[in-house]
Structure formats: C-alpha cells, structure tokens
Chain A
Amino acid sequence: MKEAHNIYKSKKLVKISLEYDEDSKIINSITITGDFFLYPEETLDELEVNLIGTKLGKDEIKQKIEKCLNDSEAFGFDSESLTDAILGCLKEN
C-alpha cells in the first residue's frame, strides 16, 4: 500500500489523503478535506466510501464522483476538479 497526498486549488482548497495499491492502482482509503461547501454534507462521507475499491483512472473516478454528487450541490469544486485533485496524488509521488 502506498500513501499519497495532494493539495489542489480549485475555487476552494481541496486536500486529498490517499492510500492505494501501487500495482493495481486501486484505492484502499481516501479522505477529502477542505474549505468547500457541499449540501447535504453527508455526501462527502458517502463519496469517500464509494471511492474505495475504485481504480485511479480519470473515467472511473469521475464517474463515481458524478454519481455521488448527483443529488447534491458543491461550491468550491466540481467533479472534474475533484477528479484532478485525486489523480494529482499520483503525480506527487
């Protein structure tokens, strides 16, 4: 398992802490923090749980995010920038 972190400046600051399998690039755990707004707030917990087991690929991640954020409203990031924030962890390492 490999740990990675990324700080991404979208309209707000989005910080990602990630643990993933280096060979398969599958997410083992993820924490998303920052000064953004998300309504309802519980969506973020659901998103973090749903991202576990997802491959770190643009399409896979973005699809999961879009599905989770479908009934919510985010201010400070969108599915595109959050995907970039997560995948940015790979560049950091």
Chain B
Amino acid sequence: MKERKKKNERETMSFKFSKIRTLETGYNSGPWNMALDEVLMNCINYHSMPILRIYGWRPPTVSIGYFQSMDEEVDIKRCRQMGFDVVRRITGGGAVLHESELTFSFITNVYPKNIMESYNLICDPVVICINKLGFNSKFVPLNDIIVDGKKVSGNAQTRKKGILLQHGTILLNVNLEKMFSVLKVPSEKVKDKMIDDAKERVMGLNKPFDEVAYNLKESFSDKFGAEIVVDNLTTKEEECTKKLTEEKYTSDKWNLKR
C-alpha cells in the first residue's frame, strides 16, 4: 500500500507543462458553460497546451451527473420559478446547485491513465490553492477535497478521444436550504434531516471569487511548473459553443436523456 502510494506520488509529480492556456470566461448560463467545456475538449489537439478555465454561473444552475435522471433528481418546475437553469453534464457524479462558487475546468491530452491518479494530479493544485487561502485541505479519493472533514470541492472527469476534462467546484458559500428546495427529496421530514446532515459535511470558503481565482492560477502554475498564458476564446470556439448550447445543452433530448 505504501509502495503504491509512493508510486502514485512519483507519477503525479512527474507531470509538467511549459504553458497553460488560461481562460476566465466570467458568469454564464448553465447550458453555455457546459457547452464550452465540451467545445474546449474537442478543440484541443496533440500540440495544444492544456487549458485551465475559471468560471461562474448566472443564473444559478442545477447540473446533474451524466448518469442521473433529471426527473428523479430535480424539481424542474421549482427551478423555473426561481429562474434557475438546469443542465446535464457530460461527467458523472451527483446533482449540484451552482451559485456561490468558483468553477474550474482543466483539459489536457497528457495525464495519468489511472483514473484515481489523474484525479489526484488535478486536485493537487486545488488543494494548494485552498491552503494558500489559509485552510488545511486535503484530497479525498475519488473526487473530493475537504477541510476539517467537510467537503469544499467536488470534481468530475471524463475522457474522450485521448483528452481528459475535469471540472470542479470550489465552494465559496453554501445555502443548503436553497439547494434542497430544488432537488427532489422523498419527503419534507427527510429534507430537514438531509439539510442537517449536509451542514455537517459541506462548507464554503467564504472568500471572494477573484481571490480564489488568483490563487488557483498561481497554484496550477506552481504545481506544473507552467507559465500561465491568459487568453480569450477564439471566434470559432464562441461560435461552436453557441451552436452546442442551442442544439444540445438546452435540449430535452440531452437534459432529459435519463
């Protein structure tokens, strides 16, 4: 076990990039955000540098995991009433209300083939970032980062055609009452219990978005020995994102797939 841990550490440490293309795409709708992640994944090629994207959500959005049923997990009517978007991700995992958080995506064609190791590798700069902000965080496999036993970051990955996409949240503030008001729960009684349980398991960093973003860029740079290359979306990327938003991520065919 010790040997394996050491091997993982050696392997994750050995990944270096000379440059990381960094995109700060601001606050956008749920479907647009998910479309852009897919577009960036499709645009990257063998010669590309990896991409770090930092973003937020406006309006707030409930995203569900690729394998989840929208109807079973989300009170869509309530979301509409509250002006929230709903969207299915291309990654697995659970339903999330994206509101007061910083979300990042990391897209690369160079990564450990072992799934656990690749989560570890990409979560590492997130841990460094959170620790720079004054917390004592650690990575908990498969995909969480915790502070004092409470989750502050959840992550999800997919791999397609040799490209890895990991998107993750860094929670800034948590409003569990609001979250459970848009997720389907068995009963009101159970809902209260779930909120109480979640309060014990989840917390926000209570830091400004820009401060977290600054530290996250620095941490990715430190971790991978890479120069941060601040960039904008190309016209082609913007056009593809618009098209994919309209054709896929706002469609019932995709969002209600399961």
A residues with a Cβ closer than 8 A to B are 12, 15, 31-41, 44, 73, 75
Partner of B92, one of A31, A32, A36: A36
Nearest B residue to A33 via CB reads B69
Of A12, A33, A39, A75, the most chain B CB neighbours within 10 A belong to: A33
CB contact under 8 A between A37 and B258, given known A15-B69, A73-B115: no
Contact B72 A35 (CB under 8 A): no
Q: What chain A residues lie within 8 Å of B143 (beta carbons)?
A: 37
Q: Complex: how many Å from CA A34 to CA B143?
A: 16
Of B66, B143, B158, B159, the most chain A CB neighbours within 10 A belong to: B66
Interface presence of B82 (CB below 8 A): no
Q: Complex: how many Å from CA A44 to CA B68?
A: 12
Q: What chain A residues lie within 8 Å of B93 (beta carbons)?
A: 35, 37
Q: Which 3 A-B pairs have the closest CB atoms?
A: A35-B94, A37-B92, A33-B69
Q: What chain A residues lie within 8 Å of B66 (beta carbons)?
A: 41
Partner of A31, one of B94, B157, B258: B258
20 contacts between A and B (CB under 8 A): A15-B69, A15-B72, A31-B69, A33-B69, A33-B72, A34-B65, A34-B67, A35-B92, A35-B93, A36-B65, A37-B91, A38-B92, A39-B115, A39-B159, A40-B160, A41-B66, A41-B67, A41-B90, A44-B67, A73-B115
Nearest A residue to B64 via CB reads A35
Nearest B residue to A35 via CB reads B94
Of A31, A37, A40, the most chain B CB neighbours within 10 A belong to: A37
Contact A40 B159 (CB under 8 A): yes
Q: What chain A residues lie within 8 Å of B230 (beta carbons)?
A: none
Interface presence of B233 (CB below 8 A): no
Nearest A residue to B70 via CB reads A33
Partner of B68, one of A35, A40, A41, A73: A35
Contact B68 A33 (CB under 8 A): yes
Contact B68 A37 (CB under 8 A): no
Nearest B residue to A5 via CB reads B72
Q: Complex: how many Å from CA A34 to CA B68?
A: 5
Q: Which positions 62-78 of chain B face chain A at CB distance < 8 Å?
A: 65-69, 72
Contact A33 B258 (CB under 8 A): yes
Nearest B residue to A40 via CB reads B159
Interface presence of B54 (CB below 8 A): no
Q: Which positions 151-175 of chain B face chain A at CB distance < 8 Å?
A: 156-160
Of A40, A44, A75, the most chain B CB neighbours within 10 A belong to: A75
Q: What chain A residues lie within 8 Å of B159 (beta carbons)?
A: 39-40
Q: How far is the CB of A6 from chain B (nearest CB, A)?
A: 13
Q: What chain B residues lie within 8 Å of A41 (beta carbons)?
A: 66-67, 90, 92, 158
